[in-house]
Amino acid sequence: GIGNFGGETDNWQWPRHTGDFSFLRAYVSKEGKPVPYSKDNVPYRPKHFLKVSPKGASPGDLIFVAGYPGRTARLSPYAEVREIVEWTLPRSIKRATDLIAILESVSKDDQETELRVAQSIRGLNNGLTKNKGVLQGMVKGGLLAKKKAQEEAFVAWIDTDPARRAKYGDVLPAINQIIAERTTSRERDALLAEFSGSRSGLAAAQMLYRFSIEKPKQDADRDADYQERNWSRLKDGQERAQRTLSPKADRAVMKYVLADIAKLPAGQRIEPLDQAIGLAPDMPEAEAATVCDAWLEKLYAGTKVYDRDFRMSLFDKSTAEIVATQDALITLAAALFPLQEANREKLKELTGSNYRLGPRFAEALLAKSGGLVSPDANSTLRVTFGTVKGVEPRDGMVYLPQTTLNGILEKATGSGEFNAPQAQLDAIKAVLAGRPTPFLDPKLKDVPVNFLSNVDTTGGNSGSATLNSRGELVGLLFDGTFDTVASDYLFDQVKTRSIHVDSRNLLWVMTEVDKATNLLEEMGFPAEQ
């Protein structure tokens, strides 16, 4: 394909040749208001929109990126960064590697399961590659040593002044106490989250059980995710889940997680599972595996949660009625609910404490630095600027700032991740043979596909508009380079690079491959161009 050309092989890599863009048409009422689907709805026509530049972006050009970056942690204290380097990332890398192997194994020679788990495997691979790059970058960049030195200087700055000590002296110890408290049950909590999964039958059962508990409440008293405004989203989610739910895959993953749950020490046990399965602390591994296998056999033989109609019917039932179905996964969800609710309350308490301490910590950092502290990303609108620019990521290696259509021809294999559409390949050959196109770069003598820039972005920025100095759309940001994904924690102004698709590639594909003249005309590019 065009939008995923290169797949996981090219993910987070450069050079890149991915046409990562799509078009959506929004529909509204005739009055221009957002409404549910109706055959009477009309295309939305905004009063203002970004003009798409047919000139794209070239090396040295000033660009701006407007988007909603998710989370960065550059201001995090040493204890938190140490936990990420020494526990969170190594564990995530190990678990993702194992889960990918499990899902690939259960879907081998099984096309239906392969299709159902493809999205999960892709997500795991994406996170795995990024986490490897983040950990590598943090270690190579000496982040822990830098953080420790910064924190020691910060504490010394506070301690040298009685007024500062009175105002800020308790902040860092209190934050460190929260981190220490969280770590006491981190493995158990992580395993419980893995056991439930995010796209599993158990996750669906847990959502439906909790929905039945939240539904009788006043809307203002419900958890935000379960307020009435979100009911249609929850139901739509269960409709869509039918394409990805797989009892075969879920069972294999659950068996993998249970093997580690069985090893948890006394004091860290997941009591509802011990009671349901018959596990106990220090149980021999072989015995634990036997009782888990027997329990899993009964669990998956006794559930109808993988049936769409059954799931949808539970939205209308009370908690008592849901429990009365005696469905095995619903029964398990009900048994786990008190522990998960306690964990949610504990998390709220710790998060609340962090929210109270965070502003004081930030105030102290600002005071020490004289106000020159870049704020961390928090999923709010941010604008970052930079230039189109290549980089030397390692000794003897140079990344040029642009890639072209010719690179697609060089990479195309006709199968797998590098299977480009024949219509695209034919159109590329025509351009390289001299067919005129307004999207040709005169210096490259080819149409640009992707480009690099030194803007500051992170997860959540995918799809962010890339603008030139005139506010015109010259591209869409969609990735970063493996060498610098650690920028969430340690921003390197010299080597950090983001990857964008050039607007010229977008327009060229629409013109020469898709023949989407109607869309081009709407965007201000008449067919004769």
496/484 Cα distance (integer angstroms) = 5
Q: Is the domain of 115 the same as that of 133?
A: yes
The two tokens of residue 89 are: 């990332």
Residues 394 and 517 reside in one and the same domain? yes
Tell me, what DSSP letter sits at residue 11?
A: T
Asked whether residue 158 is assigned to any structural domain, the reply reads no
170 in a structural domain: no
Q: What is the rounded average pLDDT of the residues 327-334?
A: 98
SS3 499: strand
* Over residues 428-446, mean pLDDT: 96
Per-residue pLDDT tens over the stretch 351-403: 999 899 999 999 999 999 988 888 899 999 999 999 999 999 989 999 999 99
pLDDT digits (tens, 9 = 90+) for 20-59: 999 999 999 999 999 999 999 999 999 999 999 999 999 9
Rounded Cα distance between 453 and 391, Å, is 9
Are 458 and 73 contacting, i.e. CB atoms less than 8 angstroms apart? no
Give percent of the chain with pLDDT exceeding 90: 93
**What's the mean pLDDT when you consider all of the chain?**
95
- pLDDT at residue 493 in the model: 84
Interior/surface letters 284-319, b for 16+ CB within 10 angstroms, e for the rest: eeeebeebbeebbeebbeebbbbeeeebeebeebeb
Grouping H, G, I as helix, E, B as strand and the rest as coil, residue 324 is helix
* Predicted local distance difference test score (pLDDT) of residue 153: 97
498-502, strands of its sheet edge to edge = 382-387, 62-67, 465-467, 473-480, 498-502, 448-453, 402-404
**Same domain, residue pair 286 and 402:** no
**In this structure, are 263 and 315 located in the same domain?**
yes
For the record, the structure tokens of 340 come out as 């998960």
- Tell whether the model's pLDDT for residue 449 goes beyond 90: yes
Question: CA-to-CA distance for 141 and 130, rounded, in angstroms?
Answer: 16
Same structural domain, 109 and 54 = no
Instruction: Render 373-405 in DSSP notation, one character per residue.
Output: -PPPPBSS-EEEEEEB--B--STT--B-SEEEH
Please give the single-letter amino acid code of residue 281.
P
Do 99 and 42 fall within a single domain?
no
- pLDDT exceeds cutoff 70 at 212: yes
What token pair was written down for 359? Answer: 């502003």
Q: Which domain holds residue 326?
A: 185-375
Task: Write down the residue that tokens 């009370």 correspond to.
Answer: 318
**427 and 489 co-located in one domain:** yes
pLDDT category at 524 given cuts 50, 70, 90 is confident
Cβ atoms within 10 Å of 348's Cβ, excluding its own = 10
Per residue in 77-92, pLDDT tens?
999 999 999 999 999 9
Same domain, 232 and 366: yes
**Are residue 396 and residue 371 in the same domain, yes or no?**
no
pLDDT at 529: 45
Report the predicted TM-score, pTM, of the whole model to 2 decimal places. 0.86
Is 294 inside any structural domain?
A: yes
Please provide residue 91's backbone torsions phi and psi, each rounded to the nearest 5 degrees.
-65, -45
Q: What share of the chain is helix, strand, coil (3-state, %, to 5)?
A: 55, 10, 35
Kindly report, residue by residue over 158-209, the tens digit of the pLDDT: 999 999 999 999 999 999 999 999 999 999 999 999 999 888 999 999 999 9
Extended strands (E) in 329-454: 382-387, 402-404, 448-453
| d(C-alpha 87, C-alpha 470), whole Å | 46
Question: Which of 375, 395, 416 is at the close of a domain?
Answer: 375
C-alpha to C-alpha distance for 439 and 287, rounded to whole angstroms: 67
- Examine the domain organization and report whether 256 and 396 are in the same domain: no
Q: Residue 527 — pLDDT band, cuts 50, 70, 90?
A: low
Residue 176: inside a domain:
no
Same-domain status, 426 and 491: yes
Q: How confident is the model at residue 274 (pLDDT cuts 50, 70, 90)?
A: very high
pLDDT at 283 over 80: yes
pLDDT at 34: 93
Is 528's pLDDT higher than 80? Answer: no
| 424 in the same domain as 351 | no
Q: Please tell me the predicted confidence (pLDDT) of residue 438.
A: 95
